[in-house]
Chain A
Amino acid sequence: MIIVDDKLALEALGGRLDPSTPEPVATTWCFHYRLMRALRDETRWGALSGSVTTEARRVAADPPESRLRVLNPRLITDAAADLAVQYDLNLLAAELLAAARRHRAVVRLSAPNVGRRWPEVMAAEGIALVVV
Protein backbone atom coordinates (compact mmCIF):
# COMPACT_ATOMS: atom_id res chain seq x y z
CA MET A 1 0.00 0.00 0.00
CA ILE A 2 1.03 3.59 -0.66
CA ILE A 3 -0.33 6.26 1.69
CA VAL A 4 -0.50 9.74 0.21
CA ASP A 5 -1.26 13.26 1.42
CA ASP A 6 -4.18 15.46 0.36
CA LYS A 7 -2.48 16.88 -2.73
CA LEU A 8 -1.34 13.48 -4.00
CA ALA A 9 -4.80 12.07 -3.24
CA LEU A 10 -6.14 14.50 -5.84
CA GLU A 11 -3.42 13.34 -8.24
CA ALA A 12 -4.47 9.73 -7.64
CA LEU A 13 -8.12 10.56 -8.25
CA GLY A 14 -7.13 12.30 -11.47
CA GLY A 15 -5.44 9.07 -12.60
CA ARG A 16 -1.94 10.48 -12.48
CA LEU A 17 -0.39 8.54 -9.66
CA ASP A 18 1.37 5.41 -10.83
CA PRO A 19 -1.57 3.89 -12.69
CA SER A 20 0.57 0.84 -13.40
CA THR A 21 1.42 0.08 -9.79
CA PRO A 22 -0.25 -2.97 -8.29
CA GLU A 23 -0.10 -1.28 -4.88
CA PRO A 24 -3.38 0.24 -3.68
CA VAL A 25 -3.23 3.98 -3.02
CA ALA A 26 -4.77 5.21 0.22
CA THR A 27 -4.95 8.29 2.38
CA THR A 28 -5.67 8.86 6.04
CA TRP A 29 -8.89 10.32 7.42
CA CYS A 30 -7.10 13.55 8.43
CA PHE A 31 -5.61 14.10 4.97
CA HIS A 32 -8.98 13.29 3.43
CA TYR A 33 -10.62 15.82 5.74
CA ARG A 34 -8.00 18.46 4.78
CA LEU A 35 -8.77 17.78 1.12
CA MET A 36 -12.53 18.10 1.57
CA ARG A 37 -12.13 21.21 3.73
CA ALA A 38 -9.95 22.83 1.07
CA LEU A 39 -12.31 21.94 -1.79
CA ARG A 40 -15.32 23.17 0.17
CA ASP A 41 -13.85 26.68 0.32
CA GLU A 42 -15.04 27.67 -3.17
CA THR A 43 -13.93 31.31 -2.91
CA ARG A 44 -10.33 30.09 -3.03
CA TRP A 45 -10.70 28.27 -6.31
CA GLY A 46 -11.88 31.12 -8.54
CA ALA A 47 -12.12 29.95 -12.15
CA LEU A 48 -11.87 26.35 -11.03
CA SER A 49 -15.25 26.45 -9.33
CA GLY A 50 -18.29 25.32 -11.32
CA SER A 51 -20.35 22.27 -12.09
CA VAL A 52 -17.46 20.05 -13.17
CA THR A 53 -15.59 20.97 -10.02
CA THR A 54 -18.70 20.19 -8.00
CA GLU A 55 -18.67 16.73 -9.54
CA ALA A 56 -14.93 16.44 -8.85
CA ARG A 57 -15.65 17.30 -5.21
CA ARG A 58 -18.28 14.58 -5.09
CA VAL A 59 -15.76 12.07 -6.42
CA ALA A 60 -13.20 13.22 -3.85
CA ALA A 61 -15.76 12.83 -1.07
CA ASP A 62 -16.56 9.25 -2.03
CA PRO A 63 -13.59 8.05 -4.04
CA PRO A 64 -13.66 4.84 -6.06
CA GLU A 65 -11.43 2.33 -4.27
CA SER A 66 -9.64 1.57 -7.51
CA ARG A 67 -8.17 5.10 -7.33
CA LEU A 68 -8.04 5.94 -3.64
CA ARG A 69 -8.95 4.30 -0.35
CA VAL A 70 -9.67 6.29 2.79
CA LEU A 71 -8.30 4.36 5.74
CA ASN A 72 -10.48 3.71 8.78
CA PRO A 73 -9.03 5.69 11.72
CA ARG A 74 -10.77 3.55 14.32
CA LEU A 75 -8.36 0.71 13.65
CA ILE A 76 -5.36 2.80 14.67
CA THR A 77 -6.64 5.15 17.37
CA ASP A 78 -4.63 3.50 20.15
CA ALA A 79 -1.44 3.25 18.08
CA ALA A 80 -1.78 6.87 16.97
CA ALA A 81 -2.16 8.03 20.57
CA ASP A 82 0.99 6.09 21.53
CA LEU A 83 2.97 7.66 18.69
CA ALA A 84 1.65 11.14 19.51
CA VAL A 85 2.93 10.82 23.06
CA GLN A 86 6.21 9.16 22.12
CA TYR A 87 7.21 11.71 19.47
CA ASP A 88 5.04 14.71 20.43
CA LEU A 89 3.09 14.58 17.16
CA ASN A 90 -0.16 16.27 16.21
CA LEU A 91 -3.20 14.29 15.08
CA LEU A 92 -2.32 14.51 11.36
CA ALA A 93 1.17 13.08 11.84
CA ALA A 94 0.22 10.51 14.48
CA GLU A 95 -2.54 9.07 12.30
CA LEU A 96 -0.23 8.98 9.28
CA LEU A 97 2.49 7.09 11.12
CA ALA A 98 0.09 4.68 12.79
CA ALA A 99 -1.59 3.92 9.46
CA ALA A 100 1.75 3.38 7.72
CA ARG A 101 2.90 1.05 10.48
CA ARG A 102 -0.34 -0.96 10.56
CA HIS A 103 -0.54 -1.39 6.79
CA ARG A 104 3.24 -1.70 6.29
CA ALA A 105 2.80 1.05 3.74
CA VAL A 106 5.13 3.38 1.95
CA VAL A 107 4.34 7.05 2.69
CA ARG A 108 4.41 9.32 -0.32
CA LEU A 109 4.14 13.07 0.30
CA SER A 110 4.33 16.24 -1.75
CA ALA A 111 7.32 18.32 -0.64
CA PRO A 112 5.36 21.13 1.11
CA ASN A 113 3.56 18.49 3.18
CA VAL A 114 6.60 17.00 4.86
CA GLY A 115 6.73 17.99 8.51
CA ARG A 116 10.09 19.10 9.84
CA ARG A 117 10.59 16.07 12.08
CA TRP A 118 8.63 13.52 10.04
CA PRO A 119 11.54 11.98 8.09
CA GLU A 120 13.45 11.36 11.30
CA VAL A 121 10.42 9.87 13.10
CA MET A 122 9.50 7.70 10.11
CA ALA A 123 13.06 6.43 9.86
CA ALA A 124 12.96 5.53 13.56
CA GLU A 125 9.72 3.60 12.97
CA GLY A 126 11.05 1.83 9.86
CA ILE A 127 8.56 3.57 7.58
CA ALA A 128 9.67 4.27 4.00
CA LEU A 129 9.07 7.87 2.94
CA VAL A 130 9.07 9.12 -0.65
CA VAL A 131 8.89 12.87 -1.26
CA VAL A 132 7.72 14.05 -4.69
Chain B
Amino acid sequence: MHRTNLYLTEEQEKALDARARSAGLSRSALVRSMIDRELARPLPIEGEVEEALRLLADSYHEVTGALFDDDPDLRIDR
Protein backbone atom coordinates (compact mmCIF):
# COMPACT_ATOMS: atom_id res chain seq x y z
CA MET B 1 0.00 0.00 0.00
CA HIS B 2 1.08 3.57 -0.59
CA ARG B 3 0.75 6.40 1.88
CA THR B 4 -1.35 9.31 0.61
CA ASN B 5 -2.06 12.67 2.25
CA LEU B 6 -5.35 14.40 1.57
CA TYR B 7 -7.16 17.40 2.99
CA LEU B 8 -10.60 16.96 4.56
CA THR B 9 -12.96 19.56 5.96
CA GLU B 10 -13.74 19.37 9.65
CA GLU B 11 -17.27 18.18 8.85
CA GLN B 12 -15.98 15.44 6.57
CA GLU B 13 -13.50 14.28 9.20
CA LYS B 14 -16.17 14.15 11.94
CA ALA B 15 -18.63 12.30 9.70
CA LEU B 16 -15.95 9.88 8.54
CA ASP B 17 -14.85 9.08 12.09
CA ALA B 18 -18.44 8.58 13.24
CA ARG B 19 -19.05 6.18 10.34
CA ALA B 20 -15.78 4.34 11.01
CA ARG B 21 -16.68 3.90 14.68
CA SER B 22 -20.11 2.50 13.89
CA ALA B 23 -18.64 0.15 11.28
CA GLY B 24 -15.80 -0.97 13.56
CA LEU B 25 -13.19 0.13 11.02
CA SER B 26 -10.21 2.43 11.09
CA ARG B 27 -10.59 5.70 9.20
CA SER B 28 -8.15 4.43 6.55
CA ALA B 29 -9.99 1.14 6.07
CA LEU B 30 -13.27 2.99 5.69
CA VAL B 31 -11.83 5.41 3.13
CA ARG B 32 -10.37 2.49 1.15
CA SER B 33 -13.72 0.68 1.13
CA MET B 34 -15.52 3.88 0.03
CA ILE B 35 -13.01 4.35 -2.79
CA ASP B 36 -13.48 0.72 -3.87
CA ARG B 37 -17.26 1.19 -3.97
CA GLU B 38 -17.01 4.42 -5.94
CA LEU B 39 -14.56 2.95 -8.46
CA ALA B 40 -16.84 -0.05 -8.98
CA ARG B 41 -19.68 2.21 -10.12
CA PRO B 42 -20.19 2.46 -13.87
CA LEU B 43 -18.93 5.61 -15.55
CA PRO B 44 -21.47 8.31 -16.43
CA ILE B 45 -23.26 7.84 -19.73
CA GLU B 46 -21.59 9.87 -22.47
CA GLY B 47 -23.48 12.05 -24.94
CA GLU B 48 -23.45 9.85 -28.03
CA VAL B 49 -24.31 6.73 -26.03
CA GLU B 50 -27.15 8.62 -24.37
CA GLU B 51 -28.38 9.62 -27.81
CA ALA B 52 -28.14 5.98 -28.99
CA LEU B 53 -30.24 4.91 -25.99
CA ARG B 54 -32.87 7.49 -26.95
CA LEU B 55 -32.92 6.27 -30.56
CA LEU B 56 -33.30 2.69 -29.39
CA ALA B 57 -36.15 3.78 -27.11
CA ASP B 58 -37.88 5.63 -29.96
CA SER B 59 -38.12 2.53 -32.12
CA TYR B 60 -38.33 -0.06 -29.36
CA HIS B 61 -41.94 -1.18 -29.79
CA GLU B 62 -41.74 -1.04 -33.57
CA VAL B 63 -38.56 -3.14 -33.64
CA THR B 64 -39.44 -5.66 -30.93
CA GLY B 65 -43.00 -6.14 -32.24
CA ALA B 66 -44.26 -9.58 -31.33
CA LEU B 67 -40.89 -10.83 -30.05
CA PHE B 68 -42.33 -12.06 -26.76
CA ASP B 69 -45.84 -13.02 -27.84
CA ASP B 70 -45.04 -16.73 -27.88
CA ASP B 71 -43.33 -16.69 -24.50
CA PRO B 72 -45.89 -17.47 -21.78
CA ASP B 73 -43.67 -16.04 -19.03
CA LEU B 74 -42.74 -12.75 -20.71
CA ARG B 75 -45.60 -11.78 -23.01
CA ILE B 76 -48.00 -8.95 -22.36
CA ASP B 77 -51.42 -10.43 -21.67
CA ARG B 78 -53.51 -8.76 -24.39
Q: Residues 86-109 of chain A: 1 if any B CB is under 8 Å from the residue's CB, otherwise 0?
A: 000111110000000000000000
A119, B75: Cα distance in complex, Å: 16
Of A41, A92, A118, which one neighbours B67 at CB under 8 angstroms?
A: A41
Q: Chain A interface: which of B2-10, B18-26, B52-60? A: B52-60
CB-nearest residue of chain A to B59: A48
A63, B63: Cα distance in complex, Å: 22
A74 at the interface (CB under 8 A from B): no
| Interface secondary structure of A, over-half rule | helix
Query: Given that A38-B63, A44-B63, A112-B61 are contacting pairs, would A30 and B53 also be in contact in the complex, using a CB cutoff of 8 Å?
Result: no
B35 at the interface (CB under 8 A from A): no
Judge whether A90 and B52 touch: CB under 8 Å: no
Q: Which residues on the A side are within 8 Å of B57 (C-beta)?
A: 7-8, 10-11, 13-14, 16
Interface residues on B, range: 20 to 34
Most chain A CB within 10 A, of B53, B54, B64, B72, is at B53
A52, B63: Cα distance in complex, Å: 18
Q: Which residues on the A side are within 8 Å of B73 (C-beta)?
A: 30, 90-92
A60 at the interface (CB under 8 A from B): yes
Judge whether A55 and B54 touch: CB under 8 Å: no
Q: Which residues on the A side are within 8 Å of B44 (C-beta)?
A: 64
Q: Which residues on the B side are within 8 Å of A122 (C-beta)?
A: none
Of B60, B76, B78, which one neighbours A10 at CB under 8 angstroms?
A: B60
Q: Which residues on the A side are within 8 Å of B54 (C-beta)?
A: 10-11, 14-16
Interface residues of B, Cβ cutoff 8 Å to A? 41-42, 44-45, 48-57, 59-61, 63-64, 67-68, 72-78
Which 7 A/B pairs are nearest by Cβ-Cβ distance? A14-B53, A10-B57, A14-B54, A115-B77, A91-B73, A56-B52, A7-B60
